[in-house]
Amino acid sequence: MNQTLSLESVVNQFASWRANRQMREPTPRVLQQQAVTLKSTYPVGKIVIALGINNNALKRWSAKLCDNRSPDFIELPPPMPEDDRGLSESRTICELPNGIRLTFTGSALTSNLLSQIYDLNSGVK
């Protein structure tokens, strides 16, 4: 959104849309987004009065826009096995900065082993 979005410009855009809209046509998404963006600059009461909209509509638009934002966390599926042996045991790969690659299968990873790997990695500079 434009950071210099003013209440006056959005009021004018709402007026233009209302002058040309079909009966009962929903408010265009771009106007909804602009109205919600104004909340960061103007009080809600001033926005709803100036735009001639209902406070509940502004709340709905805000919630809808928040739901459509990209999530901060995207869960990825587990990696596929590197071979076709069909083994169901787990595999963990640890790559150290010096190029050493450790591969552990099954339940070989214990907290003690992880601690040793950390110590090895800390010693390599």
* Helix, coil or strand: residue 104: strand
Closest CA to 51 of 9, 80, 107, 101: 9
Domain that holds residue 14: 7-67
Return d(Cα 96, Cα 5) in angstroms, integer: 50
The answer to whether 61 and 36 are in contact (CB under 8 A) is yes
Looking at the structure, tell me whether residues 60 and 11 fall in a common domain.
Answer: yes
Q: Is the pLDDT of residue 109 over 90?
A: no
Residue with the larger pLDDT of the pair 17 and 65: 17
- 82 domain-assigned: no
Confidence at residue 64, expressed as pLDDT on a 0 to 100 scale: 85
Q: Are residues 63 and 115 in the same domain?
A: no
pLDDT at 35 over 80: yes
What is the per-residue pLDDT for 2?
44
Least confident piece of the model among 1-10, 15-24, 45-54, 68-77: 68-77
**Would residue 80 count as lying in a domain?**
no
pLDDT at 69: 56
Q: Is the pTM of this model over 0.85?
A: no
Number of domains in the chain: 2
Residue located via tokens 């210099």: 4
Residues 14 and 52 in one domain: yes
